[in-house]
Amino acid sequence: MLYSKKVLKHFQNPHNQGVIKDADAVGEAGNLKCGDIMKIYLKIKKQENKKTKKQENVIKDIKFETLGCAAAIAVSSALTDMVKGMTLDEAMGLTKDKIVEELDGLPPIKIHCSMLGLEALRKAISEYKG
């Protein structure tokens, strides 16, 4: 199985790995078939949108804990890089295709890893929105 250079880079040196002890929200997703488990921690802050002058919830910090294969860890790392600084609505609009594109592709058998990352992120956001 061949991984892109970006996948290997994120796997070997993952970004945003760890725990946020006072997280505003936590989301977890797992796949019983492959055994991967991802946990996403969010720290949210209110910030004024300069165009609309409305307050928006923005992802100030994000961390992850992932038990899984190289693709699962790379997806978690890339996903956290991508959404840091986004509004919650922007983050909810992220797709698996964008994550796969950010990693310069994933082997077809590993595409499900991108879905796990999104599922954990969306659960955390839904928890925050309550």
C-alpha to C-alpha distance for 102 and 96, rounded to whole angstroms:
10
Distance CA 21, CA 7 (A): 28
Q: Which of 79, 113, 120, 121 is catalytic?
A: 113
- Asked if 69 is an active-site residue, the reply is no
Per the structure block, which two tokens stand in for 110?
Answer: 């590993």
Q: CB neighbours of 45 closer than 8 A, spacing ≥ 6?
A: 57, 58, 60
The vertex-78 CA angle with 92 and 66, nearest 5°, equals 90
Considering the candidates 4, 15, 34, 115, report the single residue annotated as catalytic.
34
Q: How far apart are CA 51 and CA 37, in angstroms?
A: 39
Angle of helix 70-83 relative to helix 112-129, nearest 10 degrees? Answer: 40
**Residues that are catalytic:** 34, 113
